[in-house]
Amino acid sequence: MRLGVQAAFVGGQLLPGDVEIAGGRIGAVGLEPAGSGIAVPGFVDVQANGFAGVDFADADTDGYRRAGEALLATGVTAFRPTFITAPEEELAAALAAVPGVDIGPRILGAHVEGPFISPARLGAHPAAARRDPDAALMTRLLDAGPVAHVTLAPELPGALELVDLLVARGVVVACGHTDATAGEAEAAFARGARTVTHLFNAMRPLHHRDPGIAGAALTDPDVTVQLIADGTHLADEVVRLAFAAARGRVQLVTDAIAAATLGDGRYRLGGVEVDVLDGVARAPGGMLAGSVVTMDESVRRVHALGVPLEEVLAAASGHGSLVPGSPADVVVLNDALEVSRVLVGGRGSL
């Protein structure tokens, strides 16, 4: 099967020519004659709390399928349902409900964002459910469902031991909702933490004499920095700064909540009531509470800031590439960078 595109994102570059798919994988690239649009690796969102009216904290398989269909329409072919800080029984139930069957996009395991976070950087997370690092609790959560990614505050007592535990279990460790100094962050990076949750948000601010975790992450070549590019969480200049400082290490995330694609109104983010007004989600008291941005919107927004398209596509696709032999998880974008076609494993959904 040929896609009929004029270029494909291969090896970090847009390679002219069409793409052939065979057996659910990329068969060949750079073929003539070319058509229109560009083929890019499917977008990957490792922080999605909900989507299209579905809050993953209490979703069943049908809910995941509804959200999955809507995610595909925005180019997301793989994601991690994300669960914010909550009591253990609620987190365990949400993890147990993560589907092990096809719902459209691939589920890359779950992202547990908390409860081991800083009381000084809670954001919209409920304070009553926050916990200090507890290896026994972490192990029970790991056993409750497909945990693939955990966000924690590395400066808390016992946090580095949790990093060791998680790395040994093959879980991605992210530092976030943290008041860590640069030194405390560097200690976690040395133990195997490899990413930072929504850079600059819910963390110690960067100061020229106190760079904090943001400064440490931007200058560590082994650390990926996650950005919410919704026009609210970060100023445009800060987005450009992050892409310039961490070239090749930026990963776009949406931090989407159930309101994404639905517009203003009242929604829930786990156990938190959220009001969306003029496209901005806030918890009681005015704290930002996730986002309603979609991944395709993020791509257009960041590219409009002057970031080269190749860098934006890498950040949205988890640094994927349509090399021959790779799974045919593909998004076709038109000249306006709008989604025109989506395939997962070579099977089309749009």
Active site residues: 255
Nearest to 116 by CA among 128, 127, 131, 126: 131
Residue type, 13: Q
Q: Phi then psi for 267, rounded to 5 degrees? A: -140, 180
Both structure tokens of 47: 């922080």
Element (H, E) at 15: strand 13-16
Nearest residue to 152 (alpha-carbon basis) of 114, 196, 204, 122: 114
Q: State the DSSP code for 127.
A: G
Read off φ and ψ for residue 26, nearest 5 degrees. -70, 120
Give CA–CA dist 298/201, Å, rounded.
Answer: 17
Kind and range of the H or E element at 117? none
CA angle 116-107-280, nearest 5°? 65
- DSSP assignment of 27-49 equals EEEEESS--SSEEEEPEEEEEES
Q: What's the CA gap between 78 and 74, in Å, rounded?
A: 11
Place of tokens 């901005």: 280
Sign of the C-alpha dihedral computed for residues 196, 198, 201 and 202 taken in this order: negative
Closest CA to 114 of 104, 101, 123: 123
* DSSP run (H or E) holding 222: none
What gap in Å lies between CA 166 and CA 189, rounded to an integer?
13
Closest CA to 202 of 121, 283, 85, 131: 121
State the DSSP H helix or E strand holding residue 69, giving kind and residue range, or none if neither. Answer: helix 61-73
